[in-house]
Amino acid sequence: MKATKTCGLIAATAALFLSTVPVLAQEDDGGPLTQGDDAKYVMVRNVMFKPGKRERALEIVAEHFVPAGQKAGTAGPILVIHHQTGKWDVTAVWELAGGMADLEWYRSADNIKWMEALAELSGGTEEAAAILAEYVNSVAHSEVNVGHYHAPEAD
């Protein structure tokens, strides 16, 4: 019973907050309705590996994931950061070329091409699944954020 009341309170609070967002946005005195034509959307994935698994995980990326992306002709990250300090081991940033619509896919055409290339390079779908599972099992925690930046016109 207590959990139901808590869930109800959370839902009511969320509904109240979400209902005010459009009003706040409309009080902008005629400002733009979107982020603008110069907005470039990105997906940022932060990854923390399990102790002792970082080197093997990065080896899987370099030896299997990158070649699969090259073979499939899919875009890799536009930036990869290997952290020396902080919570995360690696941060990778991908451009969302189609904007926010790129997030609507459960399995995009590019993801399917990439997985097919990984299977071909690895010796089959079972081998590719094993490589992917080894990588996933090396991850302690990951977080995905989406945002945008405004590119200069020369971009």
Q: State the DSSP code for 74.
A: -
DSSP, collapsed to helix, strand or coil, labels residue 95 as strand
Domain 32-150 is found in CATH 3.30.70.100: yes
Give the start-to-end residue ranges of the domains of the chain.
32-150
CA–CA separation, 87 and 66 (whole Å): 25
In this prediction the pTM is 0.73
- The answer to whether 46 touches 82, Cβ cutoff 8 Å, is no
Q: What is the pLDDT along the chain (155 residues), one digit of tens a residue?
A: 554 444 444 444 444 444 444 444 445 556 555 566 788 999 999 999 999 999 999 999 999 999 999 999 999 999 999 999 999 999 999 999 988 888 888 888 999 999 999 999 999 999 999 999 999 999 999 999 999 999 887 65
